[in-house]
Amino acid sequence: MTSLLDSLSKSLTPETLGSLGSSLGLDPNMLSQGMNVVGPLLQSGAAEAAAAPGGADMLGGLLNQLPDSMASDPMGSITSMLGGGAGLGGLLGGLMGGSGGAATSSAPDFAGALLGSSAAYNPLAGLINSGFGSGIGAIGKMLSKTLGFDVTPLIAAGLPLILGLLKKSAGDQKLDNAGIAQMLDAENRAFLNSGSPEAKMVQSALDVGKQARALRSNFQGDEWATVRNAPLAVASLITSASGTGGTPAELAALCDVVKELGDAADPVSVVGLCFEDGFSKEALELVTRGAPKSDSMAAIAAAIRLVTAKAPSEADAYKRLLLNVGENVASATKQGGFLGFGGKKIGDAEAAALRELEAALSIV
């Protein structure tokens, strides 16, 4: 019987690679290289999810929700979905309990729908969460750095593809939920034990995911929120001092520096994990509303104490991130001058707030 990964390999013809690559914005050669790693990675995630208590029934239920076309022509279904039309909207809407809504033709939106924070309402995202937990971001970052391109859209597109092939294989072999879990476990073990370069890369990615989950587990939910929200408190400190109330330029500077430093950080680090999702619109509105200086400083100090206590080797990097946020937000709106010339890069009020921030960072 053809294995799941063999079926995947056979489905990746030059024509389908070209179509899928066009939808995802990837060169077909890069896509082929990526799927040689992402496919087995997703198989491992599905095997892990199926092995958890109740996981086999959860996976079986998810396969039953997939349309029959996902089994008869998985690759055709995925390329159709990514190309727009009702397929993607209908599938995601149905899985999320909605009516489908407007379809999307954007690969990043597809990735966000599957890998975002809506796992409680999205069985596909729920499967990712069950298989990889909070380590999926670190896994994606590690593989992206290794392969030289962003694999996140490929992980998102590959998941329903793997599930479609799994649905077909389960139907052909007349497997019940327990049989599906056993098949996944056996094929996953065989791949990881093969010693191939792809198997070694997948194992390294899985190890990174486990390390990321272990680091994340050091922080309770409210503690993680405190660490995540500290850059917002820094931005609020600066914008309140300037009296601007958080201009679009200042909010953009906040988001840009956090993303830049988060992307550059080690995948298994507080900075790398904490800011992989950026900030929501609601969170940014906290900056525009402002807060008393004492509240902002207290929030910053609380976050630093948490990182120092639970990830002491990363405290300095975390402090540098906060200081960078402050400096970039402070310089986002040029003070004075005419038509952009002259004036101060940082106003007196922002400079004073930055000095207070530096002092707080040096003693906490």
Q: Which two tokens stand for residue 346?
A: 């940082």
Q: Which whole number is the average pLDDT over 41-49? A: 93
User: So what's the pLDDT on residue 364?
Assistant: 53
pTM: 0.78
Q: Which whole number is the average pLDDT over 43-68? A: 90
- In which residue are the tokens 């272990």 written? 214
Torsion of CA 96, 97, 99, 101, to 10 degrees: -20
Task: State the DSSP string of 35-55.
Answer: HHHHHHHHHHHHHHHHHSTTH
pLDDT in tens, 112-145: 433 343 433 356 667 777 778 778 889 999 999 9
Angle, CA 284 vertex, CA 279 and CA 286 arms, to 5°: 130
Q: Which whole number is the average pLDDT over 84-107? A: 34
204 against 77, higher pLDDT: 204
pLDDT in tens, 155-211: 877 888 898 899 999 999 999 999 999 999 999 999 999 999 999 999 999 999 999
Name the residue ranges covered by the structural domains of the chain.
4-216, 221-363
User: So what's the pLDDT on residue 23?
Assistant: 77
